[in-house]
Amino acid sequence: MDLRLENKVAVITGGSAGIGEAIARGLAAEGTHLVLCARDEQRLRAVAESIAGVRVLTVPADLAEPGDAERVAAAVEREFGGADILINNAGTGSEEKILTAPDSRWQHYWELHVMAAVRLARAIAPQMKARGGGVILHNASICATQPLGYEPIYNVTKAALVMFSKCLAGELIGDNIRVNAVNPGLVMTGDWVKTAKALTAGTDQTWEQYLQNIAEENAPIGRFATPEEVADFFVFLCSERAAYSVGSTYYVDGGWLKVTT
């Protein structure tokens, strides 16, 4: 299937690791030029240098900080004259109790998971409009619908991101900009491995066994997704082959979601 993504320009937040990096590689394989942003400049550069055949711009940015989203958009404008695709992917899990978590913790996740997407939409959608259209995708989480008990702030802010995606879709489809959200389930990325290694250090269980148990307890498919299995879905949604997909939320979760939506 020809996805017709050659010479498009995609901005991917959190493009230096995990799902974001896999989306970057997937789009690069289709001939899409990339703008990758994340905080750790070295890691960002290493990923950029390992991608061949397309132009890759790296923009170190902390998207939880007001001003950084606008800086990213300005860099895109300077380097490429605008973007056709925006993947709001940067994010991370949390762990807290509602009764003891301070306002500052809520505020941080609100900035990272929601306001970064709001600010990037404000700054980049006009570029897309000038280019005749575009695609904006939000990487939320199955937790937006089916919460995990240990991370209420993550659940709440990801739920808000899904609603933002829906509202933005209605506002932008008249400009030929398609907005959708993806809710992944268990995806084998660095955070999971790090946690598993920490929790199994000095025990009889290996970190691989720990993660396998989580997969078997939760996902009917009985395993984690690879980042590429989720990324391929994003790449398809970027394509005009997905032209009628607007304002939706797609689960990629190995059957974990326990209800219909």
Which burial class, exposed, middle or buried, applies to 247 when counting CB atoms under 10 A from its CB (0-12, 13-18, 19+)? middle
Q: Which stretch binds ligand NDP (CB under 6 A): 33-41, 71-79, 164-172, 236-244?
A: 33-41
Q: How far is CA 258 from each of CA 143, 147, 174, rounded to the nearest angstrom? A: 12, 11, 34
The residues near 210 (Cβ < 8 Å, ≥ 6 apart) are 196, 199, 200
Does the protein bind ligand NDP through residue 23 (CB under 6 A)?
A: no
Nearest one of 92, 82, 91, 70 to 35, comparing CA atoms: 82
Closer residue to ligand NDP in complex, CB, 155/239: 155
Strands (E), 79-220: 85-88, 134-139, 177-184
Nearest one of 10, 20, 15, 33 to 227, comparing CA atoms: 20
Binding test (CB under 6 A) with ligand NDP, winner from 14, 26, 82, 134: 14
Does the protein bind ligand NDP through residue 155 (CB under 6 A)?
A: no
In sequence order, what are the beta bridge partners of 249?
181
CA–CA dist 117, 54 (Å, integer): 25
Report in angstroms how near the CB of residue 256 gets to ligand NDP at its nearest.
Answer: 10
Using CB under 6 A, count the residues that bind ligand NDP.
28
Does the protein bind ligand NDP through residue 20 (CB under 6 A)?
A: yes
Long-range contacts (CB closer than 8 Å, 24 or more residues apart) made by 215-221: 215/186, 215/254, 218/185, 218/186, 218/256, 219/185, 219/186, 219/253, 219/254, 219/255, 219/256, 220/254, 220/255, 220/256, 221/254, 221/255
Does the protein bind ligand NDP through residue 184 (CB under 6 A)?
A: yes
Catalytic residue among 109, 154, 250, 251: 154
Binding test (CB under 6 A) with ligand NDP, winner from 32, 139, 146, 157: 139
Closer residue to ligand NDP in complex, CB, 96/175: 96
Q: Is 154 a catalytic residue?
A: yes
Closer residue to ligand NDP in complex, CB, 4/105: 105
Does the protein bind ligand NDP through residue 254 (CB under 6 A)?
A: no
Does the protein bind ligand NDP through residue 19 (CB under 6 A)?
A: yes
Does the protein bind ligand NDP through residue 89 (CB under 6 A)?
A: yes
Q: Which stretch binds ligand NDP (CB under 6 A): 13-21, 70-78, 122-130, 205-213?
A: 13-21
Tokens of 44: 């960002």
Does the protein bind ligand NDP through residue 67 (CB under 6 A)?
A: no
Q: Which residues are identified as catalytic? A: 154
* Contact footprint for ligand NDP (CB under 6 A): 13-14, 16-20, 38-40, 43, 61-64, 89-92, 112, 139, 141, 184, 186-187, 189-191
